[in-house]
Amino acid sequence: MRPTPLTEHELDRQLPEFYPRIYRMVRAMAYGSGLDPEDLTQDSFLKVYNKRHLYNGSSSLYTWTYQIARNTVLDALRRNKIKRRIFFWNEAETEPDEFSANETGDEALDRREQKLLLSQAMARLPEKDRLIITMRDLEGMSYDEISEIENLAAGTVKSRLFTARQRLKNELIRLGMNPDTD
Mean pLDDT of 161-166: 94
For residue range 83-128, what is the model confidence (pLDDT) as tens digits? 443 333 333 344 444 444 555 666 666 777 877 788 888 888 888 8
pLDDT tier at 37, thresholds 50, 70, 90: very high
In the 8-state DSSP scheme, what is residue 135?
Answer: I
Same domain, yes or no: 36 and 72: yes
Q: CATH code at 43?
A: 1.10.1740.10
Contact call for residues 120 and 86 (beta carbons, < 8 A)? yes
pLDDT at residue 153 greater than cutoff 70:
yes
Region of poorest pLDDT, from 22-26, 31-35, 39-43 = 31-35
Q: Are residues 62 and 121 in the same domain?
A: no
166 or 100, higher pLDDT: 166
Residues 31, 44, 125: CA angle, nearest 5 degrees: 25
What's the domain count of the chain?
2
What single-letter DSSP state applies at residue 52?
G
Together in a domain, 22 and 57: yes
Q: What global pTM score does this model have?
A: 0.62
61, 22 Cβ separation under 8 angstroms: no
The half-sphere exposure of 141 on its side-chain side, counting CA atoms within 13 A, is 28
How far is Cα 76 from Cα 63, in angstroms, rounded to an integer?
Answer: 20
The residue-averaged pLDDT of 15-33 equals 86
Range of the domain at 113: 105-174
- Give Dmax (Cα) for the chain: 61
Q: Judge whether 2 lies within some domain.
A: no
Query: How high does pLDDT run on average in the chain?
Result: 79
Confidence of residue 182 (pLDDT cuts 50, 70, 90): low
Lowest-pLDDT range, 38-52, 55-69, 95-109? 95-109
Q: Please tell me the distance from the alpha carbon of residue 98 to that of residue 107, in angstroms, as a whole number.
A: 12
Give the pLDDT of residue 102.
56
